[in-house]
Amino acid sequence: MNASDGKLASGAQVELAVVVPVYNEAANIAPLLARLTPVLERVAATHRVVFINDGSRDSTMDAIHAANAADPRVAAVSFSRNFGKEIAIAAGLDNADADAVIIMDADLQHPPETIEAFAAKWREGYQNVYGVRTGRDTESAIRRMAAHRFYRVFATLGETELPEGAGDFRLLDRQCVLALRAMGERARFSKGLYAWIGFKSTGIPYVVEERASGESKFSYRKLTRFALDGLMSFSTMPLMVWTYIGTIISIFAILMAMRFLLETAIYGIDVPGFATIIVSVMFLGGVQLLSLGVLGEYIGRIFAEVKRRPLYLVGERVGLPDDPTCDPAPRSHARRVA
């Protein structure tokens, strides 16, 4: 530690900032910093590690305080409760005042050494350098398959191109960070947003490691919600598709009506057809409820957006200025409550 490190504690601008969302990761803080800090010292003149404590219920904050006491380049923003990883990333981008920001997980699944390659690409002029996971061996076959399917569906429905295997582990230069800060949406699907902003991008392959300690925080239920959020914030196709389905069913109904009309005219009134009626009533009922459900999903999201609640609430800041003065355009929806 030297004098300039002390200055960084006040939140001065740094060359490289690393944003790490953490939720019950007490056991991973020290091992992560032990591997990360030497890499950062090699690639940048000044750096800061900003943990976003996403309402952890374990001793994550104690571990962060201890790390900050040992090295003031370790900073943190602590949420008032769990807001989810996507929101934590948004808060990280709001609070990391740096020429370039790196986003990574706390569980060492994202090897810190890859950052050297990220920084090299950045110095070559790339602005949006993303890690591409090679081998998802650390995950169950079901999750791997579901992820693959998701990318396929997204590619068909989404209006944004999403590189498969690219996630949150990436480097964003200041221009990208400012672009992402400007997005006020609450339903945040970061993967999509990174692709949406564009800028000079490139991928760097990396091998996913085993989780250092603890378990994945994402259940299948949470992942399903996440996938739906992603699709719905980047595609209106699920809304439009009902126009086509409705048209096809209507055409079919008109043809049937014409057939019955002719049959009645030729053969007279025919009583059978009970099964046809039941099946078509049930089918149409099902289709209508399904389309209403899709409408509901979108309306629910519109409702969440129009309420314009703050995106997150900050309970405590460590090693950062009290007011986010480092943020040239503070998000009107980021509020400090304590």
> How far apart are alpha carbons 92 and 88 in whole angstroms?
6
Number of residues forming the site for ligand UDP (CB under 6 A): 17
216 counts as binding ligand UDP under rule CB under 6 A: yes
Task: Give the one residue of 28, 53, 68, 109 binding Mg ion; rule: CB under 5 A.
Answer: 109
- The entry of ligand UDP, Mg ion, none near residue 143 (CB within 5 to 8 angstroms by kind) is none
User: Of the two residues 9 and 115, which places its CB atom closer to ligand UDP in the complex?
Assistant: 115
Q: DSSP assignment of 213-237, as one string?
A: SS--S--HHHHHHHHHHHHHHH--H
191 counts as binding ligand UDP under rule CB under 6 A: no
154 counts as binding ligand UDP under rule CB under 6 A: no
- Classify 313 as helix, strand or coil: strand
- The entry of ligand UDP, Mg ion, none near residue 88 (CB within 5 to 8 angstroms by kind) is ligand UDP
97 counts as binding Mg ion under rule CB under 5 A: no
Q: Which of residues 14-43 bind Mg ion (CB under 5 A)?
A: none
> How far apart are alpha carbons 71 and 121 in whole angstroms?
28
Number of residues forming the site for Mg ion (CB under 5 A): 3
Q: x/- binding map, residues 72-91, to ligand UDP, per CB under 6 A?
A: ----------x-xx--x---
130 with 99: CB under 8 angstroms? no
- Classify 10 as helix, strand or coil: coil
CB of 211 to ligand UDP, least distance (A): 6
Dihedral, CA atoms, 60, 62, 63, 65, nearest 10 degrees? Answer: 120
CB of 25 to Mg ion, least distance (A): 10
Length of the chain: 338
Task: Say if residue 159 is exposed, middle or buried (CB neighbours under 10 Å; 0-12, 13-18, 19+).
Answer: exposed
User: In degrees rounded to 5, what are phi and psi of residue 227?
Assistant: -65, -40
Q: Which of residues 45-74 bind ligand UDP (CB under 6 A)?
A: 54
Chain contacts with Mg ion (rule: CB under 5 A): 105, 107, 109
Chain contacts with ligand UDP (rule: CB under 6 A): 21-23, 25, 54, 82, 84-85, 88, 105-107, 109, 211, 216-218
